[in-house]
């Protein structure tokens, strides 16, 4: 039962973005510059391995020059930084992505700051964060998940016959990866923005004011349907694995993916909502490809 909410299909939109990127990559390659993406994986975290494989596959679909560097979990910070320096200097590489999380002996902040801002396709470098903060969206590389969420939000607003300008938006979550950049992007669309989080007093009342709710807090089904203003657009960034009934074919307890929003109850009130999975998730990799193409195009100017 999905109430009357419009379901926002992230897979469909992501496929369109990837198609556009592939066309742009063909045009750029014809001018003698083939977009190049280097992905660096340290250690053997299973979730990271899945993400890295998906990123490599998407890069090949787009016709990019795609390189993966897999380093042992024991790799030291100096060795990882030396690799980043080599990739910074490599003219065939336009985008560098160091998969997070990194092992404990490595300071992720120092590594991410070492990536040349022009090749920072994750958008995590303080230089790109600064450009976004001062509203220079045309010069920044914007973090992939918020950028993808923004495309879905714009499409949903258009489908509902609304304009984002002047709407009240609440972002639940204040991470540097999603919450803060999402707030900057919403400000750029002329929304009135509140950043809420786990310490917010009466979170339910804050969310209930919102015409746009972006949930990025990392807690399964924390945002309840009763909190959602009727007709609000809900973008659920959360991906949480929770227990499900029964056992899988290997005899292990089943799990299922849920978002940060209680989807079933939210559908009764929301005007539009992203499902989990199949909402924001597919957009993240699509925007990574878009950012890599953008970085390559800028290098070719």
Which amino acids are annotated catalytic? 55, 99, 122
Q: Which of 38, 41, 43, 50 is nearest to 72 (CA)?
A: 43
Peptide bond into 277 cis (omega under 30): yes
Task: Give the integer Cα–Cα distance in Å for 181 and 143.
Answer: 7
Tokens representing residue 156 in the block: 């949903």
Kindly give the pairing relationship between strand 36-42 and strand 233-236. unpaired
Q: Which of 202, 185, 201 is nearest to 193 (CA)?
A: 185
297 near 20, Cβ under 8 Å? no
Helix, strand, coil percentages for the chain (3-state, nearest 5)? 40, 20, 40
Task: Give the integer Cα–Cα distance in Å for 219 and 238.
Answer: 7
Total residue count of the chain as it appears in this document: 301
Torsion 254-281-276-279 (CA) sign: negative
Task: Give the integer Cα–Cα distance in Å for 301 and 298.
Answer: 5
């Amino acid at each position: 039962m999905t109430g009357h909410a419009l379901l926002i299909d992230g897979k469909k939109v992501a496929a369109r973005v990837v198609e556009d990127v592939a066309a742009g990559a063909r045009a750029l390659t014809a001018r003698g510059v083939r977009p190049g993406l280097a992905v660096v994986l340290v250690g053997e975290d299973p979730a990271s391995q899945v993400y890295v494989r998906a990123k490599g596959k998407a890069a090949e679909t787009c016709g990019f020059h795609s390189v993966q560097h897999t380093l042992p979990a024991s790799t030291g910070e100096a060795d990882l930084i030396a690799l980043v320096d080599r990739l910074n200097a490599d003219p065939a590489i336009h985008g560098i992505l160091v998969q997070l999380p990194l092992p404990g002996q490595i300071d992720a902040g120092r590594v991410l700051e070492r990536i040349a801002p022009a090749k920072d396709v994750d958008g995590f470098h303080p230089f790109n964060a600064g450009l976004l903060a001062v509203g220079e969206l045309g010069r920044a590389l914007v973090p992939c998940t918020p950028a993808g969420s923004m495309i879905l939000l714009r499409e949903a607003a258009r489908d509902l016959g609304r304009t984002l300008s002047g709407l009240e938006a609440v972002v639940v979550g204040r991470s540097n990866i999603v919450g803060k950049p999402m707030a900057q992007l919403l400000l750029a669309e002329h929304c009135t923005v509140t950043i809420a989080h786990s310490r917010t007093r009466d979170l339910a009342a804050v969310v209930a004011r919102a015409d746009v709710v972006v949930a990025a807090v990392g807690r399964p089904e924390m945002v309840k349907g009763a909190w959602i203003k009727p007709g609000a657009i809900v973008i659920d960034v959360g991906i949480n694995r929770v227990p499900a009934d029964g056992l899988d074919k290997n005899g292990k307890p089943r799990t299922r993916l849920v978002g940060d929003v209680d989807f079933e109850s939210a559908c009764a009130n929301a005007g539009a909502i992203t499902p989990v999975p199949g909402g924001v998730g597919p957009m993240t990799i699509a925007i990574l490809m878009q950012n890599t193409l953008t970085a390559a195009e800028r290098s070719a100017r």
